[in-house]
Amino acid sequence: MKAGIIYDAIYLEHDTGDHVENSRRLVETMSYLKETGIMEKLVPLSARPASLEELEMIHSPNHISYVKSIAERGGGWLDPDTVMSPKSYEAALYAAGGLLVAVEAVMKGEVDNAFALVRPPGHHAVRDRAMGFCIFNNVAIAARFALTKFNLNRVLIADFDVHHGNGTQDAFYADPEVLYFSTHQYPYYPGTGWINEVGTGEGEGFTVNFPMTAGWGDEEYLRAFNEVLGPAARRFQPQLILVSAGFDPHWADQLAMMQVTITGFARMAMILKELAAELCQGRLIFTLEGGYNLQVVASSVRNIFDVLLGNPEVDDPLGKAPAARKLEGFDEHMEAIKRTHHLEG
Ligand SMILES: [Zn+2]
């Protein structure tokens, strides 16, 4: 197995100061990958900036030029959560472009799969504006790029970040060529992602939301993956799987209230890898979204690379949630989601 890693020092130049989404997330992760010896098993792929034409597949020219002008003015706040430094525009171009390099490498068979360690993250960014630490929607641009450049008809985006990927959902809400599946804490930021948001027009049925009640953990996430994502993916028959990997559902993450473990993330990655092997010649690309506990991010990324390389051993230095407990209501919730998407039997 050849697993690609996309990383560029420009990602550290998106300087957010003491914001939770800061460059230490990547610095720690990269040094952990080196320390644990996994880096030397990976194929390094050089990021490139996305072109304006590529960005405009998802974003309006106004949004792009606005972001550029804020960087030229020395930075500033794009929304109450999203800050820019002078180099943030360039970093954001390379974050989107990094994922495009991953798509090219996987589609051409230069690597079997890949993980793009990029920032700023992307899944909240909508056509006309930045949102929730995200400037451009990296994964949405990559999906559109794969459809256009490689003449695909079906791309699956699976998003396990604790927040709903409203920007990604928006981008493909009326589009049957992209199946968007998301697990996320609900109710929570950004407020979208209820079960009844299923797409519209020709895209109806191609948005699958699995909202999660605060406190649920590995068992509920793995059931969502096995009982909803799996059957939905088999029905859809993707030609490529993209994953918005956010590690903020971890019990030790400071932003949200889910109880997923590092082992849980590795198991989700195994399910995704098996689906990719079964459905699309193993074509699988992860991209970093959220996750704010530095040890959780570093360790989870390392385990996912192990999964991508075919090593089933999981190293979970933080272990189980101290307050893990069985919560009510999951079975009924699962039934409602299966009914909504005609996944019974
Ligand atoms: Zn998040």
Q: What is the 290 CA–ligand 1 centroid distance (Å)?
A: 4
| pLDDT tens figures, 22-33 | 999 999 999 999
Structure tokens at 161: 């970040």
Calpha distance 60→55 (Å, rounded): 8
Which ranges in 113-193 belong to alpha helices (H)? 138-149, 166-171
pLDDT of residue 345: 59
Long-range contacts, stretch 74-79, CB < 8 angstroms, 24+ apart: 75/15, 78/129, 78/130, 78/135, 79/129, 79/130, 79/131, 79/132
Torsion angle in degrees (nearest 10) through CA of 116, 79, 126, 304 = 20
Q: What is the 210 CA–ligand 1 centroid distance (Å)?
A: 15
pTM value > 0.95: yes
Q: What is the 158 CA–ligand 1 centroid distance (Å)?
A: 14
Give the residues across from 183 on adjacent strands.
210
Q: What is the 255 CA–ligand 1 centroid distance (Å)?
A: 8
CA distances from 224 to 210, 268, 271 (A): 7, 10, 11
CA distances from 238 to 206, 217, 235 (A): 12, 27, 9
Q: Residue 3: what are its φ and ψ, rounded to 5°? A: -105, 125
* Percent above pLDDT 70 for the chain: 99
Give the number of other Cβ atoms within 10 Å of residue 191's Cβ.
Answer: 11
Which residue matches tokens 């930021």?
189
Q: What is the 163 CA–ligand 1 centroid distance (Å)?
A: 4
| pLDDT tens figures, 23-78 | 999 999 999 999 999 999 999 999 999 999 999 999 999 999 999 999 999 999 99
Kindly indicate the confidence band of residue 5, based on its pLDDT and cuts at 50, 70 and 90: very high
Q: What is the 211 CA–ligand 1 centroid distance (Å)?
A: 14
| pLDDT tens figures, 141-172 | 999 999 999 999 999 999 999 999 999 999 99
Q: Residue 330: what are its φ and ψ, rounded to 5°? A: -70, -40
Residue tagged active-site, from 14, 63, 123, 124: 124
Respond yes or no: is residue 123 known to be catalytic: no
Q: What is the 256 CA–ligand 1 centroid distance (Å)?
A: 8
Q: What is the 253 CA–ligand 1 centroid distance (Å)?
A: 10
Kindly indicate the confidence band of residue 322, based on its pLDDT and cuts at 50, 70 and 90: confident
pLDDT of residue 324: 63
Q: What is the 151 CA–ligand 1 centroid distance (Å)?
A: 31
Calpha distance 5→119 (Å, rounded): 14
Residue 123 in this model has a pLDDT that exceeds 90: yes
